[in-house]
Amino acid sequence: MTTIAAIRTGLATSLTSISGLRTAATIPDDPMPPIAVINPPSITYDIAMGRGLDEYTFTVQVLVGRVSERTAQGSVDGYSNPTGAGSVKAAIEKDRTLGGACSSLRVTSMRGTFGIVVNDNTYLAAEFVVTVYA
């Protein structure tokens, strides 16, 4: 049986392949950039007959550094590339079943960048959308 916790853990584990990027399967109290945080999903139940399949939409927020740092935008660019060693999309889609935690998945978009305040510091972040079928 697929669980949300197993999918979250699988997503976080997939992202550990990106050198220097910390990951958190749950929202941490004190995130230390650069870090990818797996946020709770929205769920569409029963997209296939008889409890055959559910659709989960997770967001992955990647906090890269202070907005004022010149390198922060470059970091976001690297994580946003569709391919390459630093690509969030490539890292997540490398194992589309997350070791058996789901049937399939796809990183569908990077919604954009924004500032996020953590402990009186404003960090630049990017948000990725991951559609998971389980």
Residue 50, pLDDT > 80, answer no
Higher pLDDT, 103 or 70: 103
CATH at residue 123: 3.30.2000
CA dihedral of 66, 17, 110, 107, whole degrees rounded to 10: -160
The Cα–Cα gap between 45 and 114 comes to 30
Mean pLDDT across the stretch 49-62?
Answer: 91
- Asked if residues 71 and 65 have their Cβ atoms less than 8 Å apart, the reply is yes
pLDDT category at 1 given cuts 50, 70, 90 is low
Give the span between the Cα atoms of 83 and 75, in whole angstroms: 14
Please tell me the distance from the alpha carbon of residue 61 to that of residue 104, in angstroms, as a whole number.
21
Average pLDDT (11-40) is: 96
Segments forming the whole domain that contains residue 65: 4-133
Count of domains for the chain = 1
**Cis peptide upstream of residue 41 (ω within 30 degrees of 0):** no
Q: For residues 119-131, give the mean pLDDT.
A: 95
- pLDDT tens for each residue of 82-98: 999 999 999 999 999 99
Please give the share of the chain, as a percent, with pLDDT higher than 90.
84
